[in-house]
Amino acid sequence: MRRSPVVANQFYPGDARILRNTLADLIPEGSTAKKNALAVISPHAGYIYSGGIAGETFAAVNVPEDVIILGPNHHGHGASIAMMAEGEWEMPLGTVPINSELAQLISDPVIEKDELAHRFEHSLEVQVPFLQMLQKNLSIVPLVISHIPYSHCLATGRAIADAIKKYHKPVLLVASTDMTHYEPRVSAGKKDHLALEHVKKLDPEGLYNTVLGQRISMCGIMPTTIVLIAALKLGAKHVQLIRYTDSGETSGDTDHVVGYAGLVVD
């Protein structure tokens, strides 16, 4: 199955030349020593809003050839935990193959092979150009996650970690998420601080319970929880917050902001 872009010319430029120039501006060169990270947590709004944080975050790591990307299901189509296990993604910067070998290693009854959930979902797509810019031989395994119980997050995270161990090559995990949506800057910042403290402490269950219990509108809570679970099983010891900001920095509207955070897990 070939997936075509759904938010090119909306969230990011659809013209390859313009997109490369945009990414060159968003991805800083030589500002920090790159890490061999286990995971990255990156926002997925339009590049005008969150592209700077995404660029800074990806610039902080060495991007290997193989990347597993997890994002939330914004539209409700498809399976609750939907993995696209074969095919390719057409993107403005070139076609990206799905790593079917790695995908086949990710096995648990809660994970379904399903392309419908991916067809109209933007949260993974907006991450791919950054990865392409930093890794010319990129292949991906994309998973779209709906609202699921913590037990399913646990099963999925463990299955992903087990697959990476069996694969015997470097793999980067990417959790795609924005933070609090459409609240005043002060309240959004307080809520996001609560959530990010659990991320920084490598506490996936605490993150899950806090976001749901405090009604924090972090759209990628499930992908982020899963990635933290997987990273812990792979030996994660440290989380670095690259930067936190909100949409008000760009729009000037601080009464209805969306929060954005970039983090690196190693």
Comparing CA positions, the residue from 241, 250, 251, 254 lying closest to residue 42 is: 241
- Per-residue pLDDT of 168-204, as tens digits, reads 999 999 999 999 999 999 999 999 999 999 999 999 9
Is the full-model pTM beyond 0.95?
yes
Query: How many structural domains compose the chain?
Result: 1
> Could you tell me how many helices (H) and strands (E) the chain has, helices first?
10, 12
For residues 144 and 153, give the distance between their C-alpha atoms in angstroms, rounded to a whole number: 12
Query: What is the model's pLDDT at position 30?
Result: 72
- Per-residue pLDDT of 56-74, as tens digits, reads 999 999 999 999 999 999 9
Residue in the structure block whose two tokens are 């914004």: 74
Question: Within 10 A of 64 (CB to CB), how many other CB atoms are there?
Answer: 18
CATH of the domain at 203: 3.40.830.10
- Average pLDDT over the chain reads 98
Query: What is the model's pLDDT at position 32?
Result: 64
Residue 204 falls in which region: left (phi positive, over 0), alpha (psi -120 to 50) or beta: alpha
- Per-residue pLDDT of 198-245, as tens digits, reads 999 999 999 999 999 999 999 999 999 999 999 999 999 999 999 999
Residue 168 falls in which region: left (phi positive, over 0), alpha (psi -120 to 50) or beta: left
Question: Residue 109 corresponds to which tokens in the numbers above?
Answer: 């009854």
The boundaries of the domain holding residue 79 are 2-265
